[in-house]
């Protein structure tokens, strides 16, 4: 029996989770929320994490009923992510590991999402669509690595959604992406947007720039109380609807192409954007047409959390992976395919 505790803080979520042999014992999390129209800056995010992490740790221990001496390994997010929040949480994990006299393991954030998704959904060997605020990747496992078949060549899909939410001044509570999803349900008119798939890769920055030109002039004209023009024929709800439909169609196309290449009959959606019901619906239609199965989790496990780091660290630890103290650092750029997957059998 192995019990692992995980610390996650690569972006605006700070979480602590505890697992015991694949059983989730605690999954405590808080979010740093900024005012509408503003993003979260690295320095302020790190300050938030430092101020909240010990209370969250206490809650996780209380909920799990686990004492520190029962824990076998302390895990933390090594990367990728924003440097100040990553560092703040890594320092806490190193300190806890030293106080408790436990081994420490740095976990790849992307691997954490994948392994948590596989645990919850019981997917065997899926093509993985990893979509979040900082990452957009299509992944498949082969020969002890999670191989990246396609990815964004500029900004992540979650970043695209978040930045558009700031343009139209949507609330960041509970998240910009969630609020765009709710507004998109009220959209009735599809606005044609650039569709940018380049082989297996995608580009989102041009779509955002195009939308910015459509959203901002309309707001400015309304403020000046000018006569209705062509730009005023769509609403913010229409733009949210159009943005989702276009972005998600790009994801479905590239995911299907990866499935065809690998012969996969499963798709697993992970990452914060994976909570989006419309994305799941569109991917589900494609899977049904191919005779494949779609797997996804809810917001407890899609959104960044500490238990996914604990579970991935648990997998690593029980397969013999160990980390020297000198290696317990962070890296903002830690690619999914850099990790040797020692816990899976080919």
- Tokens at 162, concatenated: 């978040």
Does the annotation flag 113 for ligand binding?
yes
- Which residue(s) pair with 127 in the sheet? 267
Does the annotation flag 181 for ligand binding?
yes
Does the annotation flag 133 for ligand binding?
yes
Does the annotation flag 49 for ligand binding?
no
Contact 3, 72 (CB under 8 A): yes
HSE toward the beta carbon, residue 309, CA cutoff 13 A? 36
Does the annotation flag 177 for ligand binding?
yes
Q: Which residue has the tokens 């703040």?
A: 88
H/E run at residue 86: helix 83-100
Does the annotation flag 131 for ligand binding?
yes
Strand pairing report for 266-270 and 127-131: parallel
Does the annotation flag 304 for ligand binding?
yes
Does the annotation flag 132 for ligand binding?
yes
Closest C-alpha to 4, from 107, 144, 89, 123: 107
Contact 12, 40 (CB under 8 A): yes
Q: Per-residue b/e over 149-180, b at no fewer than 16 CB within 10 Å? A: bbbbeebbbbbbbbbbbebbebebeebbbbbb
Q: How far is CA 337 from the centre of its chain?
A: 17
Closest C-alpha to 207, from 159, 170, 171, 255: 159
Q: How far is CA 54 from the centre of its chain?
A: 23
Contact 37, 18 (CB under 8 A): no
Does the annotation flag 320 for ligand binding?
no
Known binding residues are 109, 113, 130-134, 162, 177, 181, 276, 304
Known binding residues for substrate are 130-134, 162, 177, 181, 276
Known binding residues for a divalent metal cation are 109, 113, 130, 304
């Amino acid at each position: 029996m192995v019990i692992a505790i995980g610390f996650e803080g690569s972006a605006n979520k700070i979480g602590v989770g505890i697992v015991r042999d694949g059983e989730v014992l605690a999954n405590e999390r808080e979010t740093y929320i900024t005012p509408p129209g503003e993003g979260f800056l690295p320095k302020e995010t790190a300050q938030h994490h430092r101020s909240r992490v010990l209370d969250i740790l206490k809650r996780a221990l209380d909920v799990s009923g686990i004492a520190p001496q029962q824990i076998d390994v302390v895990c933390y997010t090594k990367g990728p992510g924003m440097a100040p929040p990553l560092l703040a949480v890594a320092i806490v994990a190193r300190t806890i590991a030293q106080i408790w006299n436990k081994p420490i393991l740095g976990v790849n954030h992307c691997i954490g999402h994948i392994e948590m998704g596989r645990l919850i959904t019981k997917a065997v060997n899926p093509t993985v669509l990893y979509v979040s605020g900082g990452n957009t990747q299509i992944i498949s496992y082969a020969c002890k690595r999670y191989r990246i078949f396609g990815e964004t060549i500029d900004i992540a899909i979650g970043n695209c959604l978040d930045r558009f939410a700031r343009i139209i001044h949507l609330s960041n509570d509970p998240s910009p992406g969630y609020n765009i999803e709710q507004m998109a349900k009220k959209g009735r008119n599809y606005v044609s947007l650039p569709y940018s798939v380049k082989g297996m890769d995608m580009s989102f920055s041009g779509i955002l720039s195009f939308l910015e030109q459509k959203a901002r002039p309309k707001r400015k004209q309304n403020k000046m109380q000018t006569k209705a023009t062509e730009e005023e024929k769509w609403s913010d709800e229409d733009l949210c609807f159009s943005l989702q439909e276009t972005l998600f169609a790009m994801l479905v196309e590239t995911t299907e192409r990866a499935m065809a290449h690998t012969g996969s009959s499963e798709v697993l959606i992970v990452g914060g954007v994976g909570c989006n019901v419309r994305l799941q619906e569109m991917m589900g239609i494609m899977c049904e047409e191919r005779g494949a199965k779609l797997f996804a989790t809810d917001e407890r496990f899609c959104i960044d959390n500490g238990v996914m780091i604990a579970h991935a660290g648990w997998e690593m630890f029980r397969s013999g992976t160990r980390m020297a103290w000198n290696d317990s650092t962070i890296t903002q750029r830690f690619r999914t395919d850099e990790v040797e997957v020692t816990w899976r059998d080919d």
